[in-house]
Amino acid sequence: MSELLKGNAVVGQSGGPTAVINQSLVGVIEAVRDAPMIRRLLGARHGVRGIVDEKFVDLKGISRRTLEQLAHTPGAALGSTRDKPDEDYCRRIFEVFAAHDVRYFFYIGGNDSADTARIVRDLARQAGYPLRVFHIPKTIDNDLRVTDHCPGYGSAARFVALAMMGEDRDNASLLGIKISVIMGRNAGWLTAASMLARRYPGDGPHLIYVPEVPFSLGRFVRDVRGVYRRIGRCLVAVSEGIADRSGTPIAVKLALQLGKKVEYDKHGNVQLSGTGVLGDFLAEYIKAKLTPKGGPAPRVRADTYGYLQRSFAGCASPVDRAEARACGQQAVHFAAAGATSGSVIIRRAKGRRYRVRLELAGLGSVARKTRPMPRRYINREGNDITEAFRAYAAPLVGELPQLARLPG
Amino acid sequence: MSELLKGNAVVGQSGGPTAVINQSLVGVIEAVRDAPMIRRLLGARHGVRGIVDEKFVDLKGISRRTLEQLAHTPGAALGSTRDKPDEDYCRRIFEVFAAHDVRYFFYIGGNDSADTARIVRDLARQAGYPLRVFHIPKTIDNDLRVTDHCPGYGSAARFVALAMMGEDRDNASLLGIKISVIMGRNAGWLTAASMLARRYPGDGPHLIYVPEVPFSLGRFVRDVRGVYRRIGRCLVAVSEGIADRSGTPIAVKLALQLGKKVEYDKHGNVQLSGTGVLGDFLAEYIKAKLTPKGGPAPRVRADTYGYLQRSFAGCASPVDRAEARACGQQAVHFAAAGATSGSVIIRRAKGRRYRVRLELAGLGSVARKTRPMPRRYINREGNDITEAFRAYAAPLVGELPQLARLPG
Share of chain B above pLDDT 90, in %: 80
pLDDT for B114 equals: 93
Q: Is the ipTM of this complex over 0.90?
A: yes
Calculate how close chain B gets to A375, using CA atoms only, in Å: 30
Pairing mode of beta strands A38-44, A7-13: parallel
Calculate how close chain A gets to B403, using CA atoms only, in Å: 5
Q: How far is the CA of B164 from the CAs of B9, B230, B400, in angstroms?
A: 42, 21, 11
When pLDDT is averaged across residues B84-91 and rounded to a whole number, the result is 85
Which residues of chain A does B81 touch, with a Cβ-Cβ cutoff of 8 Å? 174
Query: At residue A221, what is the residue type?
Result: V
Interface test mutation site (partner B, options A170, A199, A240, A291, max chain B beta carbons within 10 A): A170
Nearest-by-Cβ selection for A75 from B13, B69, B166: B166
Residue of higher predicted confidence among B321 and A258: B321
- With residues binned 3-state (H G I as helix, E B as strand, rest as coil), the percentages for chain A, rounded to 5, are 40, 20, 40
Calculate how close chain A gets to B360, using CA atoms only, in Å: 27
Query: At residue B280, what is the residue type?
Result: D
pLDDT band at B167 (very low <50, low <70, confident <90, very high): very high
Nearest-by-Cβ selection for A75 from B62, B73, B169: B169
Nearest-angstrom CA–CA distance, A408 and B185? 34
pLDDT for A1 equals: 46
Pairing mode of beta strands B56-58, B38-44: antiparallel
pLDDT surpassing 50 at residue B13: yes
When pLDDT is averaged across residues B110-135 and rounded to a whole number, the result is 92
Average pLDDT, chain B: 93
Nearest-angstrom CA–CA distance, B199 and B322? 27
pLDDT for A2 equals: 55
pLDDT for B408 equals: 67
pLDDT for B268 equals: 63
Strands (E), B210-283: 233-239
Calculate how close chain A gets to B12, using CA atoms only, in Å: 12
Which residues of chain B does A58 touch, with a Cβ-Cβ cutoff of 8 Å? 408
Note whether A310 contacts B170, CB cutoff 8 Å. yes
pLDDT surpassing 50 at residue B1: no
Query: What are the phi and psi torsion angles at A135 (to 5°)?
Result: -100, 130
pLDDT for B201 equals: 93
pLDDT surpassing 80 at residue B275: no
- Nearest-Cα residue of chain B relative to residue A16: B174
Nearest-angstrom CA–CA distance, B115 and A290? 32
Q: Is B141 a catalytic residue?
A: yes
Tens digit of pLDDT for each residue in B231-273?
A: 999 999 999 999 999 988 888 877 676 666 666 666 566 666 6
Confirm or reject contact between B20 and chain A (CB < 8 A): no
Nearest-angstrom CA–CA distance, B241 and B317? 24
When pLDDT is averaged across residues B353-377 and rounded to a whole number, the result is 94
When pLDDT is averaged across residues B149-157 and rounded to a whole number, the result is 98
> Residue A40: helix, strand or coil by DSSP?
strand
Nearest-by-Cβ selection for B17 from A170, A273, A400: A170
Nearest-by-Cβ selection for A307 from B76, B170, B273: B170
Q: What is the pLDDT along chain A (408 residues), one digit of tens a residue?
A: 457 999 999 999 999 999 999 999 999 999 999 999 999 999 999 999 999 999 999 998 899 999 999 999 999 999 999 998 888 898 899 899 999 999 999 999 998 899 999 999 998 998 899 999 999 999 999 999 999 999 999 999 999 999 999 999 999 999 999 999 999 988 999 999 999 999 999 999 999 999 999 999 999 999 999 999 999 999 999 999 999 999 888 888 776 766 666 666 665 666 666 678 899 889 988 999 999 999 899 999 999 999 999 999 989 999 999 999 999 999 999 999 999 999 999 999 998 899 999 999 999 998 888 899 999 999 999 999 999 999 999 999 999 999 999 976
Which residues of chain A does B42 touch, with a Cβ-Cβ cutoff of 8 Å? none
Confirm or reject contact between A69 and chain B (CB < 8 A): yes
Strands (E), A31-163: 38-44, 56-58, 102-109, 132-137
Confirm or reject contact between B235 and chain A (CB < 8 A): no
Confirm or reject contact between B54 and chain A (CB < 8 A): no
Interface test mutation site (partner A, options B307, B315, B317, B405, max chain A beta carbons within 10 A): B307
When pLDDT is averaged across residues B152-180 and rounded to a whole number, the result is 98
> Do B25 and B41 meet the contact criterion of CB atoms below 8 Å apart?
no
Q: How far is the CA of A90 from the CAs of A96, A123, B146, in angstroms?
A: 10, 7, 64
pLDDT for B256 equals: 72
Which residues of chain B does A167 touch, with a Cβ-Cβ cutoff of 8 Å? 307-308, 311
Nearest-angstrom CA–CA distance, A349 and A361? 17
Nearest-angstrom CA–CA distance, B277 and A304? 11
A199 closest CA partner among A175, A166, A177: A166
pLDDT for A149 equals: 98
pLDDT surpassing 70 at residue B18: yes
> Do A103 and A132 meet the contact criterion of CB atoms below 8 Å apart?
yes
List of domains in chain B: 7-152+316-366 (3.40.50.450), 154-313+373-397 (3.40.50.460)
- Nearest-Cα residue of chain A relative to residue B399: A314
Tens digit of pLDDT for each residue in B335-347?
A: 999 999 999 999 9
